[in-house]
Amino acid sequence: MSFFSNLFSKKEKVAEQSPDLDIKTIVSTIEQREKDGQVPLGKKIAAFDYNGLEIRFDRDITHNGRICIFEGEERLFSFTVFAKEGEYDILQDAFQSVNTFLKSDQMISNLPDNETLKGFYHRH
């Protein structure tokens, strides 16, 4: 009987909460790498593990930041951060928005889209 009671239980299961990104460490790592030397555009500046995902940061040909979320080799989401090198306060806000999105239900309709951050979906 307990099998059926568990199967049809109306009690909500407690979802395990994802950890927060250590945004200050991430931004300071990016800042240090950019100050240490010229990182070629499109090359990974930093990568971090997050709850089974890999978060990569690089700069595109317009010198804006790009945050990509990978699961294995598959890119799930990317975010264009409209912040040039040195605009680390904007970058920190962008990572906070990405963190909020990753901790949510990750619905396409909830991808950030504002003047400093634009999210893109890449799954099929």
Tens digit of each residue's pLDDT (9 = 90 or more) over 87-101: 999 999 999 999 999
26-51: b (≥16 Cβ within 10 Å) or e:
bbebbbeebeeeebeeeeebbeeebe
Residue % of the chain over a pLDDT of 90: 67
The per-residue pLDDT for 123 is 77
The per-residue pLDDT for 16 is 55
What's the mean pLDDT in 53-77?
95
Upper half-sphere CA count for residue 61 (Cβ side, 13 Å): 0
Would strands 53-59 and 65-71 be described as parallel, antiparallel, or unpaired?
antiparallel
Full strand arrangement of the beta sheet holding 46-50? 46-50, 53-59, 65-71, 74-81, 117-121
User: Token digits for 102?
Assistant: 């990753």
Residue appearing with tokens 């568990």: 6
Confidence of residue 70 (pLDDT cuts 50, 70, 90): very high
Is residue 103 scored above 60 in pLDDT? yes
Give the residue with greater pLDDT, 43 vs 17.
Answer: 43
In DSSP terms, 55 is beta-bridged to 48, 69
Question: How many angstroms separate the CA atoms of 56 and 82, rounded?
Answer: 16
| Amino acid letter, 9 | S
Is residue 38 scored above 80 in pLDDT? no
Upper half-sphere CA count for residue 67 (Cβ side, 13 Å): 30
